[in-house]
Structure 1
C-alpha cells in the first residue's frame, strides 16, 4: 500500500476533546472532513486525502475519540462511545476551526458520525458520503437478530459485552484489530507495515473504554451519559437525512452485505445516489480510494 505524508499533525480544543488532526490542501478550499472507523484510523485516507487536496479541497482528517492523537481534556469526562457523542464531536470540531459548513465523508464509526451530524445539524453539512448507507443506530430494536451470516460478523460486538471481552481488548487490541481487518475485507491484501501504521492509534489510553462503551451502549448493555441524553432522544426517532448524499457499499464487505440501496431510500429526503464498489471491503476508502474520491466529487456537484 502506498504511503503518503499528510504533513504536520495539528491539535485543537474541540468540546470535551483535544482533537489530533491533519489539515491539507488550500485553506480557502471547500472543506471536507474524512472520518475513519473502528478498528482503523486516519491512514484509511492515505490516498484519498492528498488526492482531494490536489483538486483544491481543504481536507480535514481527525482522529476519533479514543484513537491516535485525540485525547480528553478532563480526566473526569465519561469515555462515551455512543453515537450522539461521535456526531457532537464532529460539530465541535467544525466550531473549533471556525468552519460553518463541510462535506462529511466516512465509513463505520466515521460514517455514523457523519450521518448523526448531518441529521441533527443539516445546516453544517453541505453533502454526505456514507459507506453502508444510513448508519444511525435503532437502539430500541437492538435485540432483534440479523441474519445468521451477518450476526457471525458481529462476534466482537458480543464479545465486548463481557468482562472477558474488555480484558481481551486491553490485552490483545492489535491482534483483535488484525483479525477484524482480514474478516471485514477478505479481498484486501494489506501488508504488515500498512497495519502497523494504524495499530499505533489503538494504544490511545482511552481506546478500550470508548470502544467497550460504544458496543455495549448500541446493544443495550450500558446506559448512555447524561450529556448526550437529549441528542440520543432525537436519534431514537431515526431522523431523516435531508442533505445531498452518496452512499456506497463494497461487494466484498465481510460485515455489511452490499445492497442496491433501495431499502434505505426513505431515510433520505434530498438527492441520494448509491453505488456498489466491486472488490472493496469494509475499509472502502483505503481499499478503493479512487471510488471514494469520485463519491465526494459527485456529492460536491449536487450542491
Structure 2
C-alpha cells in the first residue's frame, strides 16, 4: 500500500462536491487568513510510547449503552473528548491524555459501541454501526456526565463521529480536531463507483459485504486488525505489546456485529434504525462545520483519505490544516501524540 494516498475516501462527498470544494478553495483560504487559529503555549517534547496504562476505567449508563471510558485530569477542567477509530481503541490516546491533563483538561476517552467495556443495556437493541448512532452515543455520554460542551477530537471512525457532532450539535462542541478532515458521508455517496485504484484501498469493505467476510472477521479478528494497523501506518514500528493492549478491546461481544453493520450500511446493503433517519438526511446534505477546527494528516497515512483541498471549504469558522512529516500514519494520535494534543490546545485557545 502506498505511503501517501490522494484517492477520495468512500462516502465523502463524491466527485461533484470535490469539484465544488476546489472552486471554493480560494474564497475559503481568504476567509481562513482572517480567522486563523491562535496558538497555545507549546507542549514539551514527549516520546510516543512513554505511557502504557490509564487510571482504572469507569463505567456509566448513557443512552442505550453502558459506556466504558478512561479519564485523566482535574474533574472541573475544560473537557476534551477523544474518540478512537477502527480497529483501534482508547490506547491511541495513552500519551495524549497526560499532556492535556498537565494543562488542566479533563480528558474523556470512551470506548465506542462494540469495543472494550462498552456494552448494550438490552440484548434487544439493534447492533447498529451507522455513523449517526455512534455520534448520538457520544452526546448521550456527555449528558450522562453532565458535560455541556467539549473539544471533540478523533481519527478514523472517531474523526467521523466528531465531525458529525460538530455539524449537528455545534452548541455541544467548543472546537474540533479531525484527522483526515471532513468525513461525513451518506449511503448514496457510498454507492458511487470509484476508480479501480481507489476501490482497491477499500478491499475490506467489500470483504465485509459477504457472509465469508463476516465469518472471516469473526474467526481472525486480531489478525485482521493487526494487518490493518500495518497497512494504514506502514512506517509505524509498533511492537506486539502495543498492539495487544488495544486488541483486548476487540473481544467485546458486539465488536464484529458493529463493524460489519457499519461497512454494510455505508453501501446501503443493510438498514439502520428509523429513529436516526432525520439525522442521516441532514448529514446527506454535507453540512458545513462552523466551530473552530484543526484538520490533520500524516505523511504516511496508508488508509484511504481525501486531499485537504477537497474539504477545506466545509469548515466555515476559524480553521487550519496541519500536515505532519516523519512517517506518521493513520493512527496519528498514538504516532504523534504531542502534535495531536497541541492541536486540541490550539483549537480551544480563546
Query: 1:112-155 deviations in whole A, cap 9, x for unaligned?
Result: 11011110000000000000000111321212233433322211
- Which one of 57, 65, 69 corresponds to residue 9 of structure 1? 57
Q: Distance in 2 between matches of 1:152 and 1:146?
A: 9
SS at match of 1:80: coil
> What are the equivalent positions in structure 2 for 1:122-137 lying under 5 Å apart?
122-137=170-185
Q: How many pairs were matched up?
A: 301
Q: Distance in 2 between matches of 1:258 and 1:297?
A: 25
Moved over 4 A (4+): none
Q: Distance in 2 between matches of 1:267 and 1:224?
A: 26
- Measured after TM superposition, the shift of residue 170 of structure 1 is 0.6
SS at match of 1:159: helix
- Which one of 281, 297, 302 corresponds to residue 329 of structure 2? 281
Tell me: CA distance 1:63–1:158, structure 2 relative to 1, closer, same or farther (3 Å). same
* Residue pair 2:202, 2:304 contacting (<8 A) in 1 also: no
The worse-fitting range, judged by mean Cα deviation, of 231-240 and 95-104 is: 231-240
Q: Distance in 1 between matches of 2:237 and 2:195?
A: 27
Tell me: CA distance 1:224–1:23, structure 2 relative to 1, closer, same or farther (3 Å). same
* Residue pair 2:90, 2:246 contacting (<8 A) in 1 also: yes
Q: Equivalent residue for 2:312?
A: 265
Q: Does 1:251 align with 2:311?
A: no
Name structure 1 gaps, 5 residues minimum. none
Q: Distance in 2 between matches of 1:126 and 1:222?
A: 34
* Residue pair 2:186, 2:280 contacting (<8 A) in 1 also: no
SS at match of 1:18: strand
Provide TM-score, normalisation by structure 2: 0.84
Q: Does 1:115 align with 2:200?
A: no
Provide TM-score, normalisation by structure 1: 0.97
The worse-fitting range, judged by mean Cα deviation, of 232-241 and 115-124 is: 232-241
SS at match of 1:249: strand
Name structure 2 gaps, 5 residues minimum. 1-48
Q: Distance in 2 between matches of 1:238 and 1:289?
A: 29
Which has the bigger relative contact order, CA under 8 A and spacing at least 6?
A: 2
Aligned CA RMSD, in angstroms, stands at 1.2
Q: Which has the larger radius of gyration?
A: 2
